[in-house]
Structure 1
Amino acid sequence: MTDMLRTRRLGLLLPSSNSTQEPEFSDVLPRDVSLHTARLTLNSIDAESTVRIVEELETESRKLADADVGVILLAATAPTSRKGLGYDKELLGRIQDATGKPAATASTAMLEAFAVLNIQRVALAAPWSESVNQTVASFIQANGVQVVSQRAMGVVRNNDVGRLSPDTAFALACEADRSEADAVFLACGNWWAMSRVEALERKLGKPVLTTNQVSIWAALRLLGQSTPLSGWGSLLSGMAEKG
């Protein structure tokens, strides 16, 4: 009977090869929020694939709207930043126009989190290629936040990203961090990173953000969340104060 307590519904659009977001979201979401997913075709994290993935955006968004979700979230950083300044909001608008539902994207959520936490300089770490990382860095800088350091592991096949240990996120965050960085951002929604956020914040002494963490935060705000979520870093534990 506890399932009847799930009174809020989150619709998640994720890459078809993503194996991380559903379990990671389920670990974090409050008990009254149910998760409903649809998939957009993507197997490799490359320039062509991150553009082509949104060809199915309206079709899959409408399927989520059929479940009467309260918000539709496209939680993929590379695809939502691929074409530069304003592209995230363009995609957000396409979801809203197709469904009439509130929407969020990972890149929009990232920028909103930067603003709420007053982050002006960030260190960027990701499992994908240096070229994809540079595209994301350029998007961040076009939106007024300086990227002071960036590191990429060079993993292109998304299934391989989903098999990386969370320890890779911890190690790369430490490598990317700089004293002048206000925060570290761990990009890629298929990277098991959230379980290492609190340990990283203790070690580095600054906020550590991930694609899934900022995406969950943004979606919950649209669902009216006002209760802090502990165990996943300062952004979620401070929701009430920063909401």
Structure 2
Amino acid sequence: MTTVGLLYPGQAAEDDFPRIEVMLDSDIRVPLFHTDADGDSRTVEALRAAGAPERLAAGVEELRLAGAESVVWASTGGSFVYGWDGGHEQIAGLARAAGLPASSASFAFVHAARELGATRVAVAASYPEDLAALFAGFLESGGLEVTAVRGSGLIRASEAAAADVELVKELAVAGDHPDAEVVVLPDNALHTAAHVPELEQLLGKPVLTANQVTVWEGLRLTDRRIWAPTLGTLFATREPPLGAAEPRGIEVRE
């Protein structure tokens, strides 16, 4: 059995994770701990507060007791607002607090794009334009070329959580770009787990969504690979070549 511990701010689309657990149809568990959030407004200030070290550390003991082998901060916005260097500091602190390999949803997008061999991505964000631009900058810091950035102005997480599949499709189509090899939807408040293959068929290219890459990242940190094409191309890639080296993220064991 492999157990990936997740830290999730507030209440929004956390029911995607038990859905993913079922879709993986394996001996994988994804227990989740809700961290504190000051409401559901997505401003830079609110997102930075949600990702504060003391708030992330509050959930790690419960996840350790649940048998977590890795821990992922399941908040794209609550990680990229710290920037590339600040994001590394954030997950280093989380790894120290948990005594486990740690990462965040923002780094998960970078690692997932690399897994797919993609260098050019389009950002189809539900966020306001300023946050979408910050996320694009984070991806560029990770070595990706962002061919297009679109924000959709959903200020509150509850608005994103209420979006149906048709709205998610509209977001993805509007944010796509002909030069993009992959389209990314960076919002853990969007329900996307059940729709990735449909989105990929619609766009004709791989799609990365926040809750999908969050679970994948946690599994990557445990060196666990699983074939689950119902979760999109990311979960249907070939095994890495023997001897291939890839940074696993931040690992601190005490």
TM-score by length of 2: 0.86
Amino acid at match of 2:43: D
1:218 Cα shift? 1.3
1:229 Cα shift? 0.8
Q: Distance in 2 between matches of 1:232 and 1:124?
A: 19
Q: Distance in 2 between matches of 1:172 and 1:236?
A: 22
- Counterpart of 2:133 in structure 1 is 134
Q: Distance in 2 between matches of 1:228 and 1:240?
A: 9
Q: Does 2:9 match 1:15?
A: yes
SS at match of 1:98: helix
Q: Does 2:48 match 1:48?
A: no
Q: Distance in 1 between matches of 2:228 and 2:113?
A: 18
Q: Distance in 1 between matches of 2:85 and 2:122?
A: 21
- Matched ranges for 1:93-132 at <5 A: 93-132=92-131
- Counterpart of 2:249 in structure 1 is none
1:235 Cα shift? 0.6
1:136 Cα shift? 0.6
Cα 1:27–1:132 change in 2 (3 A) is farther
The one-character-per-residue Cα deviations of 1:139-197 (angstroms, maximum 9, x if unpaired) are: 11222212111222211121221111022121111111111111100110110123222
- Matched ranges for 1:213-232 at <5 A: 213-232=212-231
- Matched ranges for 1:65-214 at <5 A: 65-214=64-213
SS at match of 1:93: helix
1:241 Cα shift? 4.9
- Provide the alpha-carbon RMSD of the alignment: 1.9
* Segment drifting more, 29-38 vs 137-146: 29-38
The one-character-per-residue Cα deviations of 1:40-79 (angstroms, maximum 9, x if unpaired) are: 2222211111100123111222332232311111121111
Cα 1:68–1:52 change in 2 (3 A) is same
* More RCO (CA 8 Å, sep 6+): 2
Amino acid at match of 1:45: R
Q: Distance in 2 between matches of 1:77 and 1:145?
A: 16
Amino acid at match of 1:35: V
Structure 1: 5+ residue runs without aligned partners? 1-6
* Segment drifting more, 230-239 vs 175-184: 230-239
* Segment drifting more, 40-49 vs 22-31: 22-31
Amino acid at match of 1:51: R
- Counterpart of 2:30 in structure 1 is 35
Amino acid at match of 2:123: L
Q: Does 2:63 match 1:64?
A: yes
SS at match of 1:154: coil
SS at match of 1:18: coil
Q: Distance in 1 between matches of 2:215 and 2:144?
A: 21
Q: Distance in 1 between matches of 2:213 and 2:169?
A: 17
Q: Distance in 1 between matches of 2:103 and 2:23?
A: 18
Say whether the 8 Å CA contact 2:115–2:234 is kept in structure 1: no
Q: Distance in 2 between matches of 1:70 and 1:187?
A: 24
Cα 1:76–1:28 change in 2 (3 A) is farther
* Segment drifting more, 9-18 vs 183-192: 9-18
Cα 1:13–1:135 change in 2 (3 A) is same
Cα 1:128–1:24 change in 2 (3 A) is farther
Say whether the 8 Å CA contact 2:139–2:146 is kept in structure 1: yes
- Counterpart of 1:4 in structure 2 is none
